[in-house]
Each structure stands twice: as structure tokens, then as C-alpha cells.
């Protein structure tokens, strides 16, 4: 039958023989293991997710500023574009894990401060310093408005030599600007341990919109 079939054309076959022979001549589809497909799809999904996660990674920097009561400072800082998060706390002192009550005595040497995590691709450290000098009076030694004591001093705690150089340059520029009648007394000190303040201090003015605040962001 095979030899006879080879001698005649496909068109000469009866309709039934065409169907039978077409099935015989058509190459069989390779079998596909559904488990293999699932594994391949899972691998592709995992790779895509990994690429997306990598794309979302943001390089951040840290800045630490002190300029009076940290409640008002944090309320301004959290609204600055490029600031990812902030927390209030105590730094620049001698005691470990100081409490608010202890810092208020002025005996520990700590300043009320805000630690800022920011995206330098959105806002530079220099521009962040610009906000800092506009949100408080940098010419009053150990005081901001009604708050008096070393814990309320104006200070920049730098985290790198580059930050130190930038802070010194911005401070000098503010001093020469003529905006303030008195010299700028902001101290520029290497950052040390930062102790997070008690929970009720964090985002205080978000929790208490009519709470005490002596900070106002001045125009540029």
C-alpha cells in the first residue's frame, strides 16, 4: 500500500484516504511537559520582579540638623521634596540613650535634632542646608525664641568630609548675605550617636496640629 501510495498524487486519493493519509503524513507535535512550562514561567516572573526591585532601589544620604525645638523642625522638613523620612532625637552629647527629661537639664550636652534620610537625586545636601537656615534663627546662641538652653543650639552634624565642606561654604554664604544682623553661630560638628526620642515626640505636630511650634520657613 505504501508503494502504491507513493506512485499516485494526494489529489487522486478518495476523501476518506486523504484524511487518513493526511494524519499519517502530518508530523506529530512534540509533547510538552506542563511542569516545565510552569517552571519557565515562574523563572521569567522572578527575573522580572528582581529587575523591577532593582530599579526601585534609591541611593540615600543622611543629614542631621539641630535648630531649636525638634517638633517644629520636623514638621517643615517632612514636607521638603526629596526627604524620604525623618526622626527626632538627641545627639552631640555624652550620655547614652538619654531621656527627654535628662536632656532638658542641659547636663548631657545633647541637642534636640532631626535625622533626615533624603534622596540626593531629588534634593542636594546644599539645598537641604538652604531650608535649614531658613527655618530657624542661626544667630542666637543656645536659644530659639522662648526655648533657652544648649539643647536648643543651632548645629549641623556632618556625616562626611563632603558634607562638612558644603556646610562650611553655605554657612559662610549665609553670613555674608546680610539677611541676619548678627553673625551666624551655627556649630558644624562631626555626627556621633543619634538617640531616637520618645515615641510621643515623633511627628508631634501631625498628632497635635495645634501644638507648640516656633518654626516658620522664611522665603528665600
Enumerate residues 6+ apart whose C-beta is below 8 A from 126.
166, 169, 170
Catalytically active residues are 69
On whether the CB atoms of residues 215 and 79 are closer than 8 A, the answer is no
Would you state the cell numbers that stand for residue 117, as one nine-digit string? 534620610
For residue 61, give the H/E element and its range.
strand 61-67
- Look-up: residue for cell 506529530? 28
CB-facing half-sphere around the CA of 57: CA atoms within 13 A: 7
Helices (H) and strands (E) in the chain, counts: 8, 8
For residue 69, give the H/E element and its range.
none
Please tell me the distance from the alpha carbon of residue 25 to that of residue 13, in angstroms, as a whole number.
14
CA angle 182, 151, 159 (to 5 degrees): 85
Please tell me the distance from the alpha carbon of residue 71 to that of residue 175, in angstroms, as a whole number.
26
Please tell me the distance from the alpha carbon of residue 71 to that of residue 204, in angstroms, as a whole number.
6
Amino acid at each position: 500500500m505504501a508503494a502504491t501510495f507513493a506512485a499516485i498524487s494526494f489529489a487522486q486519493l478518495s476523501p476518506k484516504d486523504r484524511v487518513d493519509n493526511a494524519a499519517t503524513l502530518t508530523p506529530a507535535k512534540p509533547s510538552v511537559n506542563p511542569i516545565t512550562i510552569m517552571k519557565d514561567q515562574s523563572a521569567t516572573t522572578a527575573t522580572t520582579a528582581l529587575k523591577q526591585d532593582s530599579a526601585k532601589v534609591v541611593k540615600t544620604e543622611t543629614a542631621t540638623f539641630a535648630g531649636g525645638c525638634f517638633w517644629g523642625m520636623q514638621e517643615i522638613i517632612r514636607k521638603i521634596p526629596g526627604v524620604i523620612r525623618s526622626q527626632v532625637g538627641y545627639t552631640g552629647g555624652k550620655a547614652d540613650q538619654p531621656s527627654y527629661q535628662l536632656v532638658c537639664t542641659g547636663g548631657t550636652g545633647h541637642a534636640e535634632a532631626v535625622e533626615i534620610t533624603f534622596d540626593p537625586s531629588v534634593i542636594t545636601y546644599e539645598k537641604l542646608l538652604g531650608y535649614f537656615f531658613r527655618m530657624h534663627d542661626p544667630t542666637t546662641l543656645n536659644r530659639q525664641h522662648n526655648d533657652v538652653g544648649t539643647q536648643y543650639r543651632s548645629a549641623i552634624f556632618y556625616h562626611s568630609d563632603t558634607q562638612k565642606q558644603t556646610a562650611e561654604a553655605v554657612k559662610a554664604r549665609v553670613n555674608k548675605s546680610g539677611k541676619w544682623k548678627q553673625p551666624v553661630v551655627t556649630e558644624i560638628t562631626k555626627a556621633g550617636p543619634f538617640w531616637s526620642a520618645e515615641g510621643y515626640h515623633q511627628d508631634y505636630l501631625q498628632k497635635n496640629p495645634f501644638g507648640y511650634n516656633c518654626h516658620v520657613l522664611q522665603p528665600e
